[in-house]
Each structure stands twice: as C-alpha cells, then as structure tokens.
Amino acid sequence: MDKEQIKEEILGMGAKARVAAHALAVLDADQKNAILRAMANGLRDRADEILDANRKDIDAGEANGLTEAMLDRLRLDSSRLEAIAVGVEEVAELPDPVGEVLDSWTRPNDIRIEHVRVPIGVIGIIYESRPNVTSDAAVLCLKSGNATILRGGSEAIHSNRAIASALQAGGESQGLPEQAIQLIPFTDRESVRVMAGMDQWLDVIIPRGGKGLIEAVVSQARMPVIKHYDGICHVYVDADADLDMAVAVSEDSKVHKPSACNALETLLVHRDIAESFLPAMAEAFSAREVEMRGDEQVQAILGSAVVPASPEDWDTEYLDMIVAIKVVDDMAEAITHINQHSSRHSDCIITKDDQQASRFLRMVDSACVYHNASTRFSDGGEFGFGAEIGISTDKLHARGPMGLRELTSYQYRIRGSGQTRALCATT
Amino acid sequence: MDKEQIKEEILGMGAKARVAAHALAVLDADQKNAILRAMANGLRDRADEILDANRKDIDAGEANGLTEAMLDRLRLDSSRLEAIAVGVEEVAELPDPVGEVLDSWTRPNDIRIEHVRVPIGVIGIIYESRPNVTSDAAVLCLKSGNATILRGGSEAIHSNRAIASALQAGGESQGLPEQAIQLIPFTDRESVRVMAGMDQWLDVIIPRGGKGLIEAVVSQARMPVIKHYDGICHVYVDADADLDMAVAVSEDSKVHKPSACNALETLLVHRDIAESFLPAMAEAFSAREVEMRGDEQVQAILGSAVVPASPEDWDTEYLDMIVAIKVVDDMAEAITHINQHSSRHSDCIITKDDQQASRFLRMVDSACVYHNASTRFSDGGEFGFGAEIGISTDKLHARGPMGLRELTSYQYRIRGSGQTRALCATT
C-alpha cells in the first residue's frame, strides 16, 4: 500500500470512530457494563485464535532476535489471557464517570446551568509491544464512553488484531456500536503521522511507550497529547526528619520497583543531619546493592562507598538500582533543585515539622508531592482510582495518575424558558 | 537581529518566566489583589506614555492604510485606558481559584490525599491587534497565579510594550516577581515558531485571533494549545415548540451580536411546524434585514424571501446578518446534522417537551447545549464566571467559556507517617 492509500484508510477509520463515539456517549452504565462483560467473554471465546496469533508474533520475534525480556512482554498463554479478561470484568465493576453533575446553578435571569461530565469522544492510543495494552486501554476508554483507535507496535500485530477483534465482536453481542474499537493494521511511521494530523477525528492521543515514541507524537500532533514522560523523583530529608523513617521511605522509593516512573532517583539531604543520616542510609542502600553517586559533601562523609556524581546525574532517570545523593544547605535549596531538575512527577519531604512540610508541598511544582510517604504511592490503584491509564506528566487536563475521570470531558447544559440576551442579560 | 538571536532572546524570556511562575504560585490572594490594584494604578501613572505609544501605532496604521474599523480597534484614549484599569481592579475583586481543595480522602493505609487547585505555570498568549488584550490576558493569568509571555501583533507593538511595562512596573511596587509579565519585542512569524517549540518553558499557548493565527500555532506547537475556533451554532425548532418563543430565541441568537462566535448560523426546523413557523420567523428576520438561505423545502414555503442554500452554507460561520435554514424530518435528523456540521460550540433546541429536550442535550456533542434559551448566553460573564479569557472549542482541559478556574491545573498533596509501598500497599 502506498502512503495515500494508508492515509485514506486511516482517515476512514477516524470517521467511523466519530459515529461510534456519538452512539457510545448515550449508553448508560448498565449497557456499558453488559458490553464489557461480553467483551471479556469475547476474549475467552476466541482464546485459541488469540494464542495462535500470539504464537506467530513470538515466532517472528525469535526470528528477529528479540531479547528474552522482550519476548516475555510479548508472550501470552491461557493464564495471562484469562487475567486480561478478568481485568475487563473488573472495569465493569467501577463506577461510571459519565453523566456526573459536577456543578449546577441558576443565574439571576433564571437560566439554569448544569456542568456535566461527558466522554471525550475518540481517543487514539499509540503503544509499543505489550499486547495486553490493546485490551486495557480500549476497555478503560469504553467504560468512559469513548471510541478508540489503537495503533500498536509491529512485534505484536497479530496478537493485537486478534484481541481487538475479539473485544469488538464480543461487545457487539450486547450492543457495542460498530467500529467502537478499531486497530490500525499498519505499524509503520506513516500511520503515526496520519493519526497525528487527523484532529478532525481524534480528540486526543495518548502515547504509551518510550521517550522516542512520545517525542515523535508530540512533534507531529495537531490535537492534545497526554504524555507520560519520565519520572525524575526526589526525596528531601529535612534537618528535622525522623531518620529511621527517612531511611525506610527513601529505600522503598528507590528499591521497591526501580524500573517504575515513580521510583526515587535523587536523594537530597539537609547538611545539618547529613553526618548522622547518610551512614545509616548508605548501609540500607548497600544491603540492597544500590549504587550511590554523591556530590563532594556526600563523598566526604561516605568515602569510597559512593561514586562521584557528575552534573548529568541530577537530570537522569536511572530506572535502575542507582541513586544520586546531594547535600543541600536548607529546604529552599532543595526546592530550587527539585523545581529545576525534577520531571514534575513525584517528590517528597521527610520532616517532623508540619508547617515546613506544607510549605514544601505548596512550593514544589510536581503532580504528586509527599510528606513522609514513599513516592511509590503515585499510582492509580494506590490512589483508589480503581484503574489507571497512566501517570501524566502534563499540567493540562490530566496531571498525575489518570483514572476513568481523566478520560472524560464536560459539557454545559443550559435550560431556560425563552430567555434572550437582548432582554435577559445579567452582565 | 538574525533568527538565532531572536530564538536565544525568547528562550531567555521563557527561563525567566519559569522563575517568576514559581514565585507567583505561592502568593496568597491578598498579595495578588494588592499587586493587581497597583497594576491598575501603574496604567494610570503611565497614561501619557501609553497614549503616546498608541499614537505611534495609529500613525503607522494610517500610513499603512489600515481600515477605519482596524484603527478603531487599535485606538486608545483616556477613557478607554481608564476602562482597562478598572477592568484590572475588577479582576482583583474576583475569588482566587488557587489553593481550592477539590477533593480529599484517606486511604486504608492512612495516607491522606488532597487534590488541590494550583496555577498552570507559564502561559503564552499570542494575539492580534487589540492592545487591551495585553492587559486583560496578563491580568487574568496573574490572578490565577501564572506568569505570562505575550506576543501581540505588529500594529500594536508600541502600545503593547507600554502597557506591559506599566503593568509590570506598577505590580512590582507591591511585590510582583520580576518578569512575571513579559512582552516579546518581535512580531514576526519566527517569534511564534520559537514560542511554539519551547515546551520546556511554556505550559500552554492560548492564541487569540483569526483562524490563520490559530492554525499556525496548532501546526507548530509542542505544548497544549487552547483554541477558540469558530462558532457554527444551531437552533433546532422541534415539532412541539412554542412558536413565539422559537421566533424570539432564534432572532436573538442571530441578531443580538452577529459577529460573535455564539451567534446562530443555521436554523433547523421540524417539518411538522415548518409551514406555521417559517413565515413568522421570516417576518422577524426580514424586519432585522437578515438574509435567509434555505433548502428546497424552505424555499417552497417562503418563496422569493429566501435565497437557495448551497452545501457550503451548512459549514459556514457567517458572523454576519445571514442565516441558513433547513427543514428536518425529526429530532434525530437535527442531531445528526448538528453533530456533523456544528463547530461543537453552542447549539439549542426549542421545545415544550422536557424529555425530548433532555435527549437532545445529551446527544449533541457541543460545549454548550441549550433548551429554550438564546445561544448568546455562551459567555463567561453570563455564566457568572466574572471574567472570561475566551470560549474554548476544545474538549480537553477547558471547554466552553473559560474563566479563572480554567487557567489553573491541580496537584496531589499526600501526607503520611512513614508509609512504604513494600509494607502498606493497598492494591
């Protein structure tokens, strides 16, 4: 297929998605939940087809020399597929965000205004190799009343197609509008470029994957993009900290899951407690085999246990068992450092002084700011959202952990009795 | 100046704006209001300079052959300047959106989560010729705790510079952080291109102006853009409408201010009442000298009073005393037409049937949907927001009339007592 044909086909999918979105927007919660349960069963009914398709992806991956870790992310088996189906059923159990009246008021001229939560419309999801994203993303979008256009990576194309068809076919048995869940059959860059340009059909794009993918979407997109960039997260240990707590929270933030975006990367320590705190912290990190990179003051205290930090360390997301450590003069320096180097994801202060903590929380410009708790709690599940489509590092529309509410927009519904501006203006 | 120097200078302004934004974010309402009142007085103190600068713009505009309408938009005098200053004082009187706790809850592991409204950070405003936008936009951004980088049109460059300096200087006397309000001294396209690329410094761009300007920003911007595109607004007169009300609301929606984005462009009429309604409507429109363009059924009823409509009429924002009129078979056809041709701004149904109206409001995918009231009420002032930065035709972040709240983001503030994910996960 040449570029023009690819473009035409994807634009056609966009137009169909818009029609599906209008039909989805008026389904009530019971209808959507019945559809979701039918979608879960759709996955079960077509398990053989999905696993066969996955086998093709695995064979191709092996032939193309994918690493074992990559193959493992790609691989499905009956129990993994059942887990995906159960995930769909769990989303059916969540409350429906659509239709919630956020606010309502009556104006002096007696027009009544309702501010109501509605679906966004059509959501584009661009992702890489994990086939479970096909189901997870489509299902959260559907629960919030949106149509989806999915564009997965080439490694998982057979699995993704089989999963998307199973979801759509299963859902249609309970009234899912046609083309509510569509998978783009192309995996080249051109398909991303076309999606990024079709702002008449896609209301938002959510890229899920590495920095290169997000960057490609951001630089091309005409519509809003909700980004999940990196997490350069900080813990600042204040002069007044409970040092045992500081060790425990810093250790957890670093080692509980170092590959997560909410993991600690840079530890900042007030100079007044550096000498008492750092040896205890170093002992805990060493026991977990965390590499420490320190500035000169940290080196002076910890000696050869620490590697000298270079300026780039303050801007690095290690996603690994490595931590950068810096001594600061006071909280103001810590805040300045964080606001300059943090990716505005999750940052923490450890202190016994509540007022000091409140100032820190107010002054640090990050999505999630913590007092005396691990940065690892930045998570839709831990926040109680029930489901998570990601953790936004943007400041507009959605910031931090994104649940179903963040997949909605709003609308003003105004009811009157014939008011005109000429006769009934209030301003 | 060459391109590289322009770029360097604008990027430098971005970095300074970020510092200012962090300082602004922690000012309380009283501090900001004192600053705003000082800014109003800054305009009064420098009235002579501002009016002299405006004289230069007017002279240049006359030399360049601007129309009288354009010159009038550009022109300032003492009373217009005083109105701008009073506008600043009025913003000081509005409630501060920053710091509002939107929600708070405690998780089973006893971490307490607060969802708090915070400023966005740095807002870029790109606008065309009206110098009052310099003040109006900067002041609304400031009240909501944001720094601004303004880039106005070349016609008003002297006026804009003088106004921005007067606001900044006046505000600094009451503690406004340096560089909180900056005006880009360049008015070429390159300056828009640089702004659109600096997503490390600008959190959002709001273009205020014609479609060409918005399009240029959308196609280049790496950061979110809040758009105020056109308003192709509809009134649908249902079979069950009060016909006098239908005439009054349609007339008001069309003629009260035809140049506004919330003005009626297309009138849809249920076929069952077309013969009784259209002659009365036509009489009202004719009395106001509104040109009517109708489909075949309208022509059959109104004869030579109506011009035949072409397909483009259904997609045209006239912004003028012209209305397109179409007869539809039923509400479903009206909704399909609206969802296909509306710019998703403001659309209305006139009917006595509340259930029918509720279905219409739910099914029409527009920012503001009306039952028995003029579309002209889509306005921040009429909604009771106290101020308006525009009417967003986007669905993400801000939709419909945008007040101070829509110039804010949010942050999660989490307080614990040493909780770690390893020991206290709840999911």
Q: What is the ipTM of this complex?
A: 0.94
Picking from B144, B211, B395 by the largest number of A CB atoms within 10 A of its own CB, the best residue to mutate is B395
Percent of chain B with pLDDT over 90: 94
Domains of chain A plus CATH, in order, are 3-227+401-413 (3.40.605.10), 233-381 (3.40.309.10)
Q: How confident is the model at residue A387 (pLDDT cuts 50, 70, 90)?
A: confident
3-state secondary structure chain B: CCHHHHHHHHHHHHHHHHHHHHHHHCCCHHHHHHHHHHHHHHHHHCHHHHHHHHHHHHHHHHHCCCCHHHHHHHCCCHHHHHHHHHHHHHHHHCCCCCCCEEEEEECCCCCEEEEEEEECCEEEEEECCCCHHHHHHHHHHHHCCCEEEEECCHHHHHHHHHHHHHHHHHHHCCCCCCCCEEECCCCCHHHHHHHHHCCCCCCEEEEECCHHHHHHHHHHCCCCECCCCCCCEEEEECCCCCHHHHHHHHHHHHHCCCCCCCCEEEEEEEHHHHHHHHHHHHHHHHHCCCEEEECHHHHHHHHHHCEECCHHHHHCCCCCCEEEEEEECCHHHHHHHHHHHCCCCEEEEECCCHHHHHHHHHHCCCCEEEEEECHHHCCHHHHCCCCCCEEECCCCCCCEEECCHHHEEEEEEEEEEEECHHHHCCC
CA distance to A250, B15, B323, per residue, from B7 (Å): 41, 12, 46
Q: How confident is the model at residue B210 (pLDDT cuts 50, 70, 90)?
A: confident
Contacts of B242 in chain A (CB under 8 A): 418
At A191 the pLDDT is 93
| B396/B419 Cα distance (integer angstroms) | 34
Q: How confident is the model at residue B198 (pLDDT cuts 50, 70, 90)?
A: very high
Helix (H) or strand (E) holding A148: strand A147-151
- Closest Cβ–Cβ partner in A105, A120, A427 for B381: A427
Task: Look at residue B283 and tell me whether its pLDDT is greater than 90.
Answer: yes
At A102 the pLDDT is 95
The helix-helix angle for A132-143 and A29-45 (nearest 10°) equals: 160
Task: Look at residue A209 and tell me whether its pLDDT is greater than 90.
Answer: no
Task: Look at residue B222 and tell me whether its pLDDT is greater than 80.
Answer: yes
Contact A252 B422 (CB under 8 A): yes
Residue of A nearest to B380 (CA): A427
At B1 the pLDDT is 75
Task: Look at residue A129 and tell me whether its pLDDT is greater than 80.
Answer: no
Put the strands of the sheet holding A181-183 in their side by side order.
Answer: A181-183, A147-151, A122-127, A204-208
Percent of chain B with pLDDT over 70: 100
Task: Look at residue B75 and tell me whether its pLDDT is greater than 80.
Answer: yes
For range A113-119, the mean pLDDT: 98
Task: Look at residue A229 and tell me whether its pLDDT is greater than 90.
Answer: no
Helix (H) or strand (E) holding A116: strand A112-119
pLDDT tens digits, A41-57: 999 999 999 999 999 99
Q: How confident is the model at residue A211 (pLDDT cuts 50, 70, 90)?
A: confident
- CA-nearest of B312, B319, B411 to A369 is B411
At B128 the pLDDT is 86
pLDDT tens digits, A231-246: 999 999 999 999 999 9
For range A153-163, the mean pLDDT: 96
Contacts of A245 in chain B (CB under 8 A): 417-418
- Closest Cβ–Cβ partner in A204, A371, A394 for B416: A371
Report for A382-396, B240-254, B382-396: range of highest mean pLDDT: B240-254
- Closest Cβ–Cβ partner in A371, A399, A413 for B410: A399
**φ, ψ for residue B189, nearest 5 deg:** -70, -30
pTM of the entire structure? 0.93
pLDDT tens digits, B293-349: 999 999 999 999 999 999 999 999 999 999 999 999 999 999 999 999 999 999 999
* Residue A287 at interface with chain B, using a CB cutoff of 8 Å: no
Contact B367 A412 (CB under 8 A): yes
Contact B12, B184 (CB under 8 A): no
> At A117, is the secondary structure helix, strand, or coil?
strand
